[in-house]
Amino acid sequence: MSLLRVEKMTHYFGGLRAVHNYELAIEPGQVRGLIGPNGAGKTTIFNLITGIYQPTEGKIMLDGTELNGRAPHVIASLGIGRTFQNMLLWRHMTVLEHVKMARYSKLTYGLAGAFFGTARRYQQEAESEEIALRLLKMMGVEQVADQIVLNLPYGAQRRVEMARALAMEPKVLFLDEPTAGMNPEELLQMMDIIRQIHGELGMAIFLIEHRMRVVMELCQKIQTLVFGEVIAEGTPEEIQNNPKVIDAYLGKEVVQ
């Protein structure tokens, strides 16, 4: 059984068909890519699977649980973590607070624990802090744990966003253009981090990217989306050599 399975998913925004008959099967530990021109429907697919929009048609299953009709925070706690195309961070919190806050859904000490400071509460909070610090270290931002997010350079903010997504211990991590706007050095760091998340945590990853180098080097299998439809699915080599993909997308993209 696939970890994440999407069957015949279609979505309309009013009269615009943004996604048509979309199918996906992600296996545990797989790194998958989704590419395609601007407006093809890539972010919409992420928003449909993560519960921000409800699909007009189709079924979404995560590890045997149906996701249709569930709220985004429920889907997040069931095991889909994500970062956003336009970063969403609480910019006035510290880096560490940020990542710890993402873990609150994991805490089970209850209201009495919160008021009376039970041993369980202290133990869980200490554990949360330890996990948060470990993730910040993995993302290379542990030295700035006490800084306000707003004051960090762009690349570091992106890595905090990723640590936050990982803090919920997802089964699959969705990354929407994680290298957008990055300089070449930040780009390489981000690629290393994605490799590490896959290698050390064995996590399945679903990646939207316009930078071909990132997709081709990191993904085992790639889908190409054009006008809401998958026109090709295959290995990086198959996708790079597919005439339909070259014609509809790659030929027009600056390969970097």
Q: How far apart are CA 245 and CA 238, in angstroms?
A: 10
Interaction of residue 39 with ligand ATP, rule CB under 6 A: yes
Q: What is the pattern of x (binds Mg ion, CB under 5 A) and - over residues 52-71?
A: --------------------
Residue 38 binds to ligand ATP (criterion: CB under 6 A)? yes
Q: Which residues contact 2 (CB under 8 A, 6 or more apart)?
A: 25, 26, 27, 61
Q: Which tokens belong to 26?
A: 């992600």
One residue of 4, 26, 44, 172 binding ligand ATP per CB under 6 A: 44
Alpha carbons 207 and 213: distance in angstroms, whole number: 13
Which residues, 76 to 105, sit near ligand ATP by CB under 6 A? 85
- Asked if 18 and 229 count as a contact pair (C-beta separation under 8 A), the reply is no
Q: Environment class of residue 168 by beta-carbon count within 10 Å: exposed (0-12), middle (13-18) or buried (19+)?
A: buried
104's contact among ligand ATP, Mg ion, none, with CB below 5 to 8 A by partner kind, is none
**Which amino acid, 3?**
L
Looking at the Cβ atoms of 43 and 128, the one nearer to ligand ATP is 43
Q: In the complex with ligand ATP, which residue's Cβ is closer, 16 or 74?
A: 16
Give the alpha-carbon dihedral of 161, 164, 169, 171, to 10 degrees: -20
Which of the stretches 40-48, 89-97, 103-111, 112-120 binds ligand ATP when contact is defined by CB under 6 A?
Answer: 40-48
Considering only 67-75, 84-92, 99-107, 184-192, which stretch makes contact with Mg ion by CB under 5 A? 84-92
E strand map for the chain = 4-13, 16-26, 31-35, 57-62, 65-66, 80-83, 172-176, 204-208, 221-226, 229-234
Task: Let me know: does 155 contact 189? Beta carbons within 8 Å.
Answer: yes
The residue among 86 and 108 lying less far from Mg ion, judged by its C-beta, is 86
* C-alpha closest to that of 80 among 172, 206, 6: 172
121 binds, among ligand ATP, Mg ion, none (CB under 5 to 8 A by kind): none
Angle at CA of residue 16, ends 10 and 19, nearest 5°? 25
Name which of 44 and 83 has its Cβ closer to ligand ATP.
44
Q: Which of 6, 18, 145, 152 binds ligand ATP (CB under 6 A)?
A: 18
Q: Is 215 in the site for ligand ATP (CB under 6 A)?
A: no
Shortest distance (Å) from residue 75 CB to ligand ATP: 18
**43 binds Mg ion, rule: CB under 5 A:** yes
- Using the contact rule CB under 5 A, the part of the chain among 85-93, 197-205, 213-221, 228-236 near Mg ion is 85-93
Binding site for Mg ion (CB under 5 A): 42-43, 85
Binding site for ligand ATP (CB under 6 A): 13, 16, 18, 36, 38-44, 85
